[in-house]
Chains A and B, each alone.
Chain A
């Protein structure tokens, strides 16, 4: 096991142990290890790497260190720039989990139910992947290739995640069968970009990998009264939610049925839109 104290440390250790598990908060990783799902040959712990723990504004973007915890995402000065991310972070686990689990870990786990995933998808987040041989960038939808499968290569870790600072309301909602500390049955992030005149919708737990409701986005973007600010008509909202539902391909599992997921994602889409732009 290597306990890295700098990014260079971590990359060196990963270079010599390309099959190492990268341990940040461990809230997903240790569950898999304890279940015997992940063979453990070597572990590189990155929780004490200062370069991974910070965030900064870079022009019209925010660069988020991969080891920021969910609690970090709730800091008011960051939350005001990335409200949906903060809302998603608040929906995660208990305070103990939020103090430990990290944004980069949520992405690297690659679960369709990852709570920050729909937000990052809606924001067109870009990942900075780092290894001893250098840095490469990747979009989130390229990175997560399937259920708990990612494009992360041996010897590589997520260094940072870049998201734009948008002008407009943002909403994240998540359905679970408990009022807290629950894996999502369905989740949805809706962000409005007033300057770009777009509405972007990311969906969780309704497909194998991060999903955008692109048709619904195009439709609602074209039907919003961007200048007058009048809320959309009931017909427009119905068509929008229909298109959101149409974008999904949910499954039946022990957390919910496909039928329920389709229904719920439509409800969330309508409610999130109403919160963001008002309802007629």
Chain B
């Protein structure tokens, strides 16, 4: 494709050091976060505040016989103890279905479900009050096997099936000369953000409430909170508090309604901070998946048909399960041309912890499976796995298994080629610390085998299936200073930096002020998820700035009696091309210019009964090559090197892109070899960072960026695609495949556990 540029790692350095698009402009919140002065939501403080706390169910499934708060309310310092009946409005909330109880009423459906909330003068008083609440439960056998969910008695009035999609594409009778079949499993991953849930609600005189909270989507929160409080939305005002990571875990409400109830009941500000253990119960996780696949191909390696059956465990409540299973189903076959497909995607309800959004959103699970299948197929064909992928990889104009034709950029072949062609810098470790087992000193070089493998994947950007997806932004240019208003939640992705870059690029201003994100000042920006905010809120900011620019030029043309066509905005000056008119921006905007816009992406459409339709907007491709060392005797793994290429449209801020690629890969490495919320009869066994392990510096290898493929995406601001999710999709699959290459084992499950390698297990 013409217009392709690839940027190697040397391109990551600032190009000119300027503040515009394409530069590694430093984050305004970077130094404060590193030095500890950044105010996270857990730092919120009010002199009159009370502390809130939550009593949670110890049982995955039980009927609540009685709740006795008598002893709790009499404790000195306790200001409120509230229950299900105290919820003033809707008793339930949810992103797609209002099926999740604000506080449990007659039943609890998962371990950790909130039953009562307390406000008191001190965290210790809160703890005592929670201890003093007596709940009598009648314990019920929990439904914990997702495979049994559809035939089991319903555990919720909405039933146990959350969504089934049966996608059928192309000729259903066709079969391939070569077929490979496999069953795969992905464990439950946690987002493991560093800043646990926290926030503060402040009652407003005359009714209503202000909520300061770390979230991914202020307006969606507001609407759900208002419904539960029985208030009109405008009486509930949300302001973004400092977010310590999100990765999907802050899409659903957590403490939001609880805080507001306590504040409105006591007439005092109330603050709440979850402990780490509570946080594991307080947000959704990545769906565990069981996936059966059969791939059909011709002898020459051309894919003929993919059959798959996907089962995701949604846990007790729907959350965003419906959208997750849509992604899993639509992208089940991977970034390949598949003329015939039969893919059934099912997500069910169980008494396990609720699952919902996490970085990669359904595509992570299926990428692990389809890439294992592609390697299996290459083996059956006696074909090089890279060649097999190149033979089938999608390009612009090709159709997905949903029947949708890709109209935007689709550099699948480019990400593969650049990734595999990149020279490896991996050497054999001399330092015993760098061998599998690391600081445990378990391996000597003779115990170690090395493996290398490639994985390729793709995912949709932005919301799909006909959702009215938009963002709102305003730009006010006054005295040469641009003030941007947008409710986009900065969760670490770097929107605060991009706003400056975009405003500078469009308006030439040096000073850009970003107003706090709030429901009070502007309309919705949509969710900070689905790799969508650079495109959506970046697009809205660009559009608002462009409107201001047009009005500015019109004003100057009008005031000076010159032709609009002859005016340019450059270096803080409005100037005529002839050079005889120069008006500086400060004086030109002493009377402010303001524009407020909504920005939408191209419309999408629902999937039909066969899972067919133009349901998605745009797609991003990525590839990872992993090199791993494995101590086969102990089953321990050291990921030695990750090399990646990614389809980014255009690099807006190189250092931020690299940050996303490294961070996403770290989460992918975690899922490949250690990160799992372990369940036993519906209970979490490792709700702490002592036992829920995320990669350390000794586990995370250097990420070599082979190429950032820059093919500007039509419709996207500056041609930039979102970059946040692809790194976490292909990294897991690549690491698992490299362990297979090293050991010769099938390893159909992630995370790969030491015992899976030692005993050759892990079968789904």
Contacts and interface: CB of A to CB of B under 8 A. Distances in A.
A176 B440 contact: yes
A165 B697 CA distance: 34
B695 interface: yes
A1 interface: no
Contact of B755 (A187, A260, A267): A260
Interface in B319-365: none
B685 interface: yes
A179 B433 CA distance: 8
A81 interface: no
Given A179-B638, A179-B699, A271-B444, A257 B678 contact: no
A255 B674 CA distance: 11
Contacts of A34: 275
Residue in A36, A177, A267 whose Cβ sees the most chain B Cβ within 10 Å: A177
A41 interface: no
Contacts of A179: 436-440, 636, 638, 696, 698-699
B693 A178 contact: yes
Contacts of B758: 260, 263-264
Contact of A174 (B441, B680, B693): B441
B699 A178 contact: yes
B277 A35 contact: yes
Contact of B697 (A180, A257, A271): A180
B686 interface: yes
A268 interface: yes
A183 B699 contact: no
B441 A254 contact: no
B745 to A, nearest CB: 15
Contacts of B582: none
Nearest to A179: B438
A91 interface: yes
A257 B758 CA distance: 12
B224 to A, nearest CB: 31
Contacts of B690: 31, 183
B138 to A, nearest CB: 26
Interface string B732-764: 000000000000000000000111001100000
Given A183-B691, A259-B759, A175 B440 contact: yes
Interface in A152-179: 171-179
Interface string B439-457: 1111110010000000000
Nearest to B678: A254
A31 B633 CA distance: 33
A180 B275 contact: no
Contacts of B754: 175, 177, 185, 256, 260, 264
Contact of A173 (B442, B685, B691, B696): B442
B139 interface: no
Contacts of B294: none
Nearest to A40: B124
Contacts of A264: 634, 754, 758
B298 to A, nearest CB: 42
A207 B270 CA distance: 46
B691 A255 contact: yes
Contact of B634 (A87, A94, A171, A267): A267
Contacts of B691: 183, 254-255
Residue in A173, A182, A256 whose Cβ sees the most chain B Cβ within 10 Å: A182
Interface in A238-278: 254-257, 259-260, 263-264, 267-268, 271, 275
A181 interface: yes
Given A36-B127, A182-B693, A271-B447, A175 B699 contact: no
Contacts of A180: 438-439, 696-699
Given A87-B441, A91-B441, A174-B442, A254 B275 contact: no
A90 interface: yes
Contacts of A275: 444
B438 to A, nearest CB: 3
A173 B440 contact: yes
Contacts of A94: 696
Interface in A8-47: 31, 34-36
Nearest to A183: B690
Contacts of B755: 256-257, 259-260
A276 to B, nearest CB: 12
A122 to B, nearest CB: 15
Interface residues of A, number: 36
A87 B696 CA distance: 19
A180 B638 CA distance: 11
A141 B312 CA distance: 49
Residue in B127, B678, B754 whose Cβ sees the most chain A Cβ within 10 Å: B754
Contacts of A171: 441
Nearest to A181: B696
Contacts of A254: 678, 680, 685-686, 691
Nearest to A266: B633
A96 to B, nearest CB: 12
A91 B674 contact: no
Contacts of A268: 442, 634
Interface string B693-708: 1011111000000000
Nearest to A178: B693
Interface in B411-463: 436-444, 447
B63 to A, nearest CB: 27
Interface string B668-686: 0000011000101000011
A178 B674 contact: yes
Nearest to B633: A267
B696 A178 contact: yes
Contacts of A187: 440
A176 B447 CA distance: 17
B628 to A, nearest CB: 12
Interface in B628-662: 633-636, 638
B441 A175 contact: no
Contacts of B447: 271
Contacts of B441: 87, 91, 171-174
Contacts of A175: 437, 440, 442, 634, 636, 754
A176 B693 CA distance: 10
B258 to A, nearest CB: 20
Contacts of A178: 438, 674, 693, 695-696, 698-699
A271 B446 CA distance: 11
A184 B695 CA distance: 16
Contacts of B636: 175, 177, 179
A162 B176 CA distance: 72
B166 to A, nearest CB: 37
Interface string B294-315: 0000000000000000000000
Contacts of A173: 437, 440-442
Contacts of A255: 691
Interface in B523-571: none
Nearest to B751: A177
Contacts of A185: 754
Contacts of B693: 177-178, 182
Contacts of A31: 690
A34 to B, nearest CB: 7
A93 B634 CA distance: 21
28 contacts: A31-B690, A35-B277, A36-B127, A91-B439, A172-B441, A175-B442, A175-B636, A175-B754, A177-B636, A177-B753, A177-B754, A178-B674, A178-B695, A178-B698, A179-B436, A179-B437, A179-B638, A179-B698, A181-B439, A182-B440, A183-B691, A254-B680, A254-B685, A257-B755, A259-B759, A263-B759, A267-B442, A271-B443
In the A-B complex, list the 6 residue pairs whose CB atoms are closest, starting with the nearest.
Answer: A179-B438, A174-B440, A179-B698, A254-B685, A180-B698, A260-B755
Given A174-B439, A179-B439, A184-B440, 10 more contacts: A87-B441, A172-B441, A175-B442, A177-B674, A178-B699, A181-B439, A185-B754, A257-B755, A260-B759, A267-B633
Interface of A: 31, 34-36, 87, 90-91, 94, 171-185, 187, 254-257, 259-260, 263-264, 267-268, 271, 275
